Structure 1
Amino acid sequence: MTSGPSGAAVPRHRRGTRRGRAEPRSADDGGQAPDERELALLGRPMPLDPVRGWIVTLVVTAIGAVLRLWNLGSPTDGGTPVFDEKHYVPQAWQMLRNGGFEDNYGFTLIVHPPLGKQLIAVGEWLFGYNAIGWRFTAAVAGILIILLTIRITRRLTRSTLLGGAAGVLVIVDGMMHLQSRIGMLDIFLVLFVLAAFGCVLRDREQVRQRLAEAVRQGWIGESPYGPRLGMRWWRFGAGVCLGLACAVKWSGLYFVVAAGLLVLIFDITARRTAGVAKPVRATLRLDLLPAAFALGAMTLLVYLASWWAWLGSETATDRHYVEVNQVGHGALAFLPDALRSLGHYTLEIYRFHSTLDTPDGDPHPWESKPWTWPMGLRPMLYHYESGEEVTGCGQSECVEAAMLIGTPALWWLALPLLAWALWRAVFRLDWRYGFVLTGYLAGFLPWFANLDRQMYFFYAAPMAPFLVIGITLVLGHLLGSANSGDERRTTGLLAVSLYIGLAVANFIWLWPVLNAEAITQQEWDARMWLPSWR
């Protein structure tokens, strides 16, 4: 056996077969008509407008960049951080001062891995210890999320128009907007999770192209397990992104499991479509271990690498815990003292999270449980000032508030969307909705495991891009295909345009309470649509 043109294993006697990406053939090109399995594997081709696709991507992303960066320095608490910025912003400043690690023993609330705080520190290095500095990299992450959403949706729908529509919707989502404008960790988690799922999507395409080539060349059935698929760089990239996600917050682990299951399901269905006799056994035999390395081992290695500054320091918190406390070697004697100290430090972080329960009779005023997240029934108030000291609304007393609200035109569709997506995925075998459901539910269902824990709406941030992508898939049904007739297409385009216009108008209405602009008390009350928003 030797490596084939797309990386799959090819019998030696077939080395002379045609090279290049598998493309559907017609009987007119001098060859045989394409195999039905080959066409099924390749699916609909990408739209033939790559330049236009990138123009749409960059223009929409640029519009989003303006909105994400607009007046980024507001609000502050008298020039200091607001809400949970008060934890991460000074820790990031410590990292900037110390070369990448925290060492302030008087500030013991160090409860997350270092990467997100290191990214905040980059902005502080560029612009100083001020609101623009500690929010700049969060805004950049929010801008990149717009770009990724457009490109992922374009690949799912094979439509530049729908990709651009998804970009507009993610711009006008209040959750993504405000999380991109505050010095917290969650927006970085969203970025790396979305990038990982984008890599999984590209890996699916690459696998099916390689199997289509094996079908074309006629050697797909030479083994009941089908061919080996060679080095899968996109799957490897997914592992790297998932490691970065875990290096921001441990909740990235939920997406490691989800991505692993998604990859294996994609592999099984691809081999079955290609005509492999034993697709499940083939996947377990040929793909399981490489997937475990790419998505498991790589995630762990990248996560450990994120502690580079801590491991290389002398004064980081608990860096020499094992030596100082003369901890016995035990079963982990083969590990270096630095890694065993990191294990202790990790255990302390775990203990903090596992005991962060809601006090009986004294919940946090803005705490929410996960069943409220899909529709955003309990938003999060990040900043609030009112009274005579707030000016600019045209009255003697004004309100200045920044509240994390998912745009209702998007979030209030979550439950019917989930029902529709489940029906499409299970009964119509529409893998695109399976992709969306996997990402969305990985950010949602695990939080039900411990309902006593304190939880807040911003934990739902990773659900937002998958919500937008799912809504855009539905818009694709409304729009209809290019050959569905002019009247049908025009009606569909009108419906899609009206919905996007509604979402944009909803976002504009919420703009003052997303960006802490001075408004009157009456204007504030008018925007509090539900009693649970107060």
Structure 2
Amino acid sequence: MVVTSTEEPLLGGPPTEAARPPLYERLVGRLYADAGRRRLVDWLAPVLITLIAGILRFANLGQPHALVFDETYYVKDSWSQWNLGYPATWPDGADESFVAGDTNVFTTMGSFVVHPPLGRMLIGLGMFLTGADSSAGWRLATAVFGTALVLLVYLVAKTLTSSTVFASVAGGLMAIDGLAIVMSRVALLDVFLAFFVLLGIWFVILDRKTHAARFRTPAAGGAPWGPVRWNRPWLLAAGAALGAASAVKWSGLYVIAAVGLYVVVSDALLRRRAGVAMWPTDAAFRQGAVSFLLLVPAAAVVYLASWTGWLTTTGGWARDAADAHPATGFLGWVPLALQSLWDYHRQIYDFHVGLTSPHSYASPAWQWPLLVRPTSMYYHQDAFGEAGCGAVNGCVQNIYSMPNPLLWWAGVAAVLWIAYRFVRTRDARLAVVLVGAGATYLPWLLYPERTIFEFYTIAILPFMVLAVTFALRDVAGLARAATAPAATVGEDVPGAAVATDVPGASVASVASVASVASVASVASVASVERRRTGQRIVLVFLALVLATAIFWYPVLTAMPVPYDFWRAHNWLPSWI
């Protein structure tokens, strides 16, 4: 019988000395000594984390029954688009009518909307299923995708490390983060963007794992060229997912570019490792061309498909823009509908690059790491005795797009830490997290004058959470060599697994053999006392993050709280 362990505990590993192992290691050892119990935990962990995330996002989802912040645009545009195939204009006073239940007062005149249709399609679907007069229905789609985003963080973490503990910490942190909760409870587009971006990155990780397995055997005699692989379904899926991200907001295009560069570079390194003589040219021009054809056209098809409603109707904004001045010459064959769509995109681009109107909650990208100006999306105050308020100084209801401050600042430090670790170790698992974080943050620095908001960071947050989890794993003491120059994404480091061919060997005996066999590798990482101290630090940090999440939850979800309690959350002068 062959039994292989792929679990990579977050908080340490087998003892390196004769001293008594830390409590965490003893508990994990007992938990995984039984194969059936291990399988149960591996299934139960993501279910429980997703359930907790769903409760935090769906509880009292319809509160407040008001169009919150930019819901005034997205909810009404989504509903008119669902009915007409394109967003339409609304008469004056439409917000009040809509909230009162008169939801069909839109006109048939196309409205200039500056984001692609997919996010509005999803919001409109939720409204169709529950009724457009339901504020919970307005937010149904974002709550579903926000909950799914937590599960996706878990799956990405599990794919990277094969560790249930690591994945549970990452998923758990995402489940209780304030920004992730808020953006799942308001009908804005950003949680869809975050979901599809992370989905695309997950598919890239899966592609990397399967593609790398084909380069285990070195090229014979230093062959000049390596194989060109067309059979990469995960890369095709990544293109579709990132096309969907771009069909929500154009910032998904930056991720497509970053992923394309990552794929070419990682393919080049695989070829060099396999002994391909012309590995740079081979990866860039031979496999690179194929990878481009797998990634980009799939994204383009999904993106264009999101415009089907606009293309198949006649009332949308700029729908007939090309009729008066159609293209001639080389582009004369392009259908007028697509020419009009191009003109519409030109108008959208001009709007975005010229958007500099002041806003009290605007926050340029350089401020985001410091958490200077989160966005207050809804604020309502009642005096003592009004609406059941029993607080002398009144009561407040607030929706504040505040990430968990401790987790956020730790995330900023963790991204810098894993960047340093990557330079030292070339661990491909860290590289993919850095690619995601960089692609979702760095482009915003190019527009310092543009009106943007801190809640855009929901797309960055999953990668910060993954970075924090990697950093916590380092603090706690590594269970096995976390990095190796030749390691690929999700690849087990040699020596991490233990097998036995002894007939009738029990799981417990295999675990014992694994413990003995791994002493030498773990001893070089940290002593038992070092791991014990590190694990205590990690547990204290996680406890503080949880306590902070509980403290902030009422202010994130429009729960009525005393004014003085609300004021206690304004840790910085700009947090108002």
What TM-score results when the alignment is normalised by the length of structure 1?
0.85
Q: Does 1:121 align with 2:124?
A: yes
Find 1:422's aligned residue among 419, 423, 442: 419
For residues 504 and 109 of structure 1, the distance between their equivalents in structure 2, rounded to whole angstroms, comes to 43
Q: Does 1:365 align with 2:369?
A: no
Q: Does 1:445 align with 2:442?
A: yes
The 3 A distance-change label for structure 1 pair 202 and 328 is closer
Q: Contact 2:396 / 2:563 at 8 angstroms: preserved in 1?
A: yes
Instruction: Report the counterpart of residue 259 of structure 1 in structure 2.
Output: 259
Find 2:381's aligned residue among 377, 386, 396: 386
For residues 532 and 152 of structure 2, the distance between their equivalents in structure 1, rounded to whole angstroms, comes to 28
Q: Does 1:59 align with 2:101?
A: no
**SS of 2:561's equivalent?**
coil
**SS of 2:334's equivalent?**
coil
Find 1:150's aligned residue among 150, 154, 171: 154
Instruction: Report the counterpart of residue 268 of structure 2 in structure 1.
Output: 268
Q: Does 1:211 align with 2:215?
A: yes
For residues 389 and 431 of structure 2, the distance between their equivalents in structure 1, rounded to whole angstroms, comes to 47
For residues 417 and 434 of structure 1, the distance between their equivalents in structure 2, rounded to whole angstroms, comes to 13
For residues 109 and 317 of structure 1, the distance between their equivalents in structure 2, rounded to whole angstroms, comes to 6
- 1:32-431 to structure 2, matched below 5 A, reads 52-77=41-66, 81-98=67-84, 100-104=85-89, 108-129=111-132, 130-212=134-216, 214-215=217-218, 221=221, 223-323=223-323, 325-358=324-357, 363-388=358-383, 391-395=387-391, 397-431=394-428
Instruction: Report the counterpart of residue 30 of structure 1 in structure 2.
Output: none
Instruction: Report the counterpart of residue 512 of structure 1 in structure 2.
Output: 554
Instruction: Report the counterpart of residue 33 of structure 1 in structure 2.
Output: none
Instruction: Report the counterpart of residue 19 of structure 2 in structure 1.
Output: none
Task: Using the TM superposition, name which of 140-149 and 260-269 deviates more.
Answer: 260-269
| TM-superposed deviation, 1:365 | 0.6
The 3 A distance-change label for structure 1 pair 51 and 290 is farther
| TM-superposed deviation, 1:229 | 2.9
Cα shift readout 1:186-225 (whole Å, capped 9, x = no counterpart)? 000000000000011111101111112x44xxx5557322
- 1:22-33 to structure 2, matched below 5 A, reads none
Q: Contact 1:87 / 1:109 at 8 angstroms: preserved in 2?
A: no
Matched letter for residue 74 of structure 1 = Q
Instruction: Report the counterpart of residue 458 of structure 2 in structure 1.
Output: 461
Instruction: Report the counterpart of residue 485 of structure 2 in structure 1.
Output: none
Q: Contact 2:58 / 2:185 at 8 angstroms: preserved in 1?
A: yes
**SS of 1:384's equivalent?**
strand
RMSD: 2.1
Find 2:545's aligned residue among 484, 494, 503: 503
For residues 141 and 236 of structure 1, the distance between their equivalents in structure 2, rounded to whole angstroms, comes to 22
Q: Contact 1:101 / 1:310 at 8 angstroms: preserved in 2?
A: yes
Instruction: Report the counterpart of residue 20 of structure 1 in structure 2.
Output: none
Matched letter for residue 183 of structure 1 = A
| TM-superposed deviation, 1:489 | 4.7
| TM-superposed deviation, 1:370 | 0.5
Cα shift readout 1:423-443 (whole Å, capped 9, x = no counterpart)? 112222122222111111111
Q: Contact 2:77 / 2:87 at 8 angstroms: preserved in 1?
A: yes
Q: Contact 1:392 / 1:398 at 8 angstroms: preserved in 2?
A: no
Instruction: Report the counterpart of residue 94 of structure 2 in structure 1.
Output: none
| TM-superposed deviation, 1:53 | 2.5
Q: Contact 2:356 / 2:451 at 8 angstroms: preserved in 1?
A: yes
For residues 221 and 51 of structure 1, the distance between their equivalents in structure 2, rounded to whole angstroms, comes to 48
Q: Contact 2:109 / 2:315 at 8 angstroms: preserved in 1?
A: no
| TM-superposed deviation, 1:317 | 2.4
What fraction of aligned residue pairs are identical, expressed as a percent? Answer: 36
Q: Contact 1:207 / 1:270 at 8 angstroms: preserved in 2?
A: no
Q: Contact 1:239 / 1:299 at 8 angstroms: preserved in 2?
A: yes
Higher relative contact order (CA 8 A, sep 6+): 2
The 3 A distance-change label for structure 1 pair 67 and 342 is same
Q: Contact 1:390 / 1:518 at 8 angstroms: preserved in 2?
A: no
**SS of 2:475's equivalent?**
helix
**SS of 1:229's equivalent?**
coil
Q: Contact 1:157 / 1:473 at 8 angstroms: preserved in 2?
A: no
Matched letter for residue 128 of structure 1 = G
Q: Contact 1:211 / 1:220 at 8 angstroms: preserved in 2?
A: no
**SS of 1:316's equivalent?**
coil
Q: Contact 2:320 / 2:340 at 8 angstroms: preserved in 1?
A: yes
| TM-superposed deviation, 1:282 | 1.9
The 3 A distance-change label for structure 1 pair 331 and 453 is farther
For residues 206 and 425 of structure 1, the distance between their equivalents in structure 2, rounded to whole angstroms, comes to 22
The 3 A distance-change label for structure 1 pair 175 and 192 is same
Task: Using the TM superposition, name which of 428-437 and 148-157 deviates more.
Answer: 428-437
Q: Which runs of 4+ in 1 moved over 6 A?
A: none
Cα shift readout 1:107-140 (whole Å, capped 9, x = no counterpart)? 7341110000000011001111121111011011
Matched letter for residue 64 of structure 1 = A
The 3 A distance-change label for structure 1 pair 441 and 97 is same
| TM-superposed deviation, 1:158 | 2.7
The 3 A distance-change label for structure 1 pair 160 and 85 is same
Q: Contact 1:193 / 1:245 at 8 angstroms: preserved in 2?
A: yes
The 3 A distance-change label for structure 1 pair 343 and 107 is closer
**SS of 1:385's equivalent?**
strand
Cα shift readout 1:447-496 (whole Å, capped 9, x = no counterpart)? 12121111111222211000000000111212334454765554443332
- Pairs aligned (count): 476
For residues 479 and 392 of structure 1, the distance between their equivalents in structure 2, rounded to whole angstroms, comes to 48
The 3 A distance-change label for structure 1 pair 349 and 374 is same
For residues 433 and 365 of structure 2, the distance between their equivalents in structure 1, rounded to whole angstroms, comes to 18
Unaligned runs of 5+ in 1: 1-23, 25-46
Q: Contact 1:392 / 1:518 at 8 angstroms: preserved in 2?
A: no
For residues 412 and 564 of structure 2, the distance between their equivalents in structure 1, rounded to whole angstroms, comes to 31
For residues 443 and 376 of structure 1, the distance between their equivalents in structure 2, rounded to whole angstroms, comes to 16
For residues 392 and 157 of structure 1, the distance between their equivalents in structure 2, rounded to whole angstroms, comes to 51
Q: Contact 1:443 / 1:462 at 8 angstroms: preserved in 2?
A: yes
